[in-house]
Amino acid sequence: MSSSMSCLKNPDVVTMMGLDFGSTTSSAMVAEAKVGLNSVSGRMEFGRPQVVYRSDSVFTPFDGEKIDAVRVGHYLDQWIAESNVRCEDIFAGGVIITGLAAKQVNAGALARLVGKRIGEAVIATADDPCLESWLAFMGSCSALSRLYPETPFINLDIGGGTTNPAMGINGNVLHTGCYFIGARHFRFTPGTYRLKAISSYGRSILKDLAIFKKTGDTFSESETDAVLGFYVSALEAIVTGDADFFNTAAGRLHRQVPFEIDTDGQSLPTLTFSGGIGELIYRSSRGRELPGTTFYGDLGIDLARKIMKSPVLSAHIRTTIPENMGRATVYGLALHSTEVSGTTIFLSRSECLPCRDLPIVARLSLDAGPKEIQKALLLVGNSNNGACIQILSDRNEKRPQAGITLPPGESLARIKYFGKGLAENCERLRFLLHQTLVLLVPFNYGQALGNYASNWRQSPVNFIVIDEIPDRSAHFVNIGRLHGNIVPVSFYGVS
Q: Tell me, what CATH number does 301's domain have?
A: 3.30.420
Does some domain include residue 394?
yes
**pLDDT tens string 179-219:** 999 999 999 999 999 999 999 999 999 999 999 999 999 99
In this prediction, the residues of the chain whose per-residue pLDDT falls under 70 are 1-11, 38-43, 120-124, 127, 263-266, 324-327, 334-335, 394-409, 493-495
Instruction: Annotate 171-235 with DSSP letters as a single string.
Output: TEEEEE-EE---GGGEEE-TTS-BEEEE-HHHHHHHHHTT----TT-B--HHHHHHHHHHHHHHH
Same domain, 145 and 161: yes
Cα angle vertex 214, ends 208, 215, to 5°? 135
Q: Domain check: are 304 and 379 in the same one?
A: no
111 & 139 share domain: no
296 and 386 part of one domain: no
Instruction: List the CATH number of the domain containing 100.
Output: 3.30.420.40
Choosing from 97, 127, 157, the residue where a domain stops is: 127
Q: 179 and 276 share a domain?
A: yes
Helix (H) or strand (E) holding 360: strand 355-365
Q: Identify whether 333 is part of a domain.
A: no
- β-pair type (122-126, 90-97): parallel
Q: Confirm whether 483 is domain-assigned.
A: yes
* 117 and 136 co-located in one domain: no
260-274 residue pLDDT tens: 887 665 678 999 999
Calpha distance 248→254 (Å, rounded): 10
Q: Do residue 122 and residue 167 come from a single domain?
A: no
Residue 2 lies in a domain: no
Residues 154 and 63 in one domain: no
The whole-angstrom separation of Cα 82 and Cα 356 is 28
Q: Hey, what amino acid is at 32?
A: E
* CA quadruple 74, 79, 85, 90: dihedral sign: negative
Q: Collect all residues with Cβ–Cβ distance below 8 Å to 2 and sequence separation of at least 6.
A: 8, 38, 45, 46, 47, 48
Give the number of domains in the chain.
Answer: 3
Task: Mark whether 306 and 172 lie in a shared domain.
Answer: yes
Predicted confidence at residue 264, as pLDDT, reads 63
Q: Is residue 245 part of a domain?
A: yes
Q: What is the pLDDT of residues 257-307, one digit of tens each?
A: 999 887 665 678 999 999 989 999 999 998 899 999 899 999 999 999 999
Residue numbers of the domain that contains 96: 8-127
Domain ends where: 273, 299, 326?
Answer: 326
Cα–Cα distance measured from residue 445 to residue 386, given in angstroms and rounded to the nearest whole number: 22
User: How far apart are the C-alpha atoms of 428 and 42, rounded to whole Å?
Assistant: 38
Predicted local distance difference test score (pLDDT) of residue 401 = 40
Q: Over the stretch 353-376, which tens digit does the pLDDT of each residue have?
A: 888 888 899 999 999 999 999 999
pTM for the full predicted model: 0.78
- Residues 192, 84 within the same domain: no
Same domain for 345 and 413:
yes
| Within-domain flag for 307 | yes
- pLDDT value, residue 399: 42
- Residue 87 in domain: yes
Within a domain: 336: no
165 and 302 in a single domain? The answer is: yes
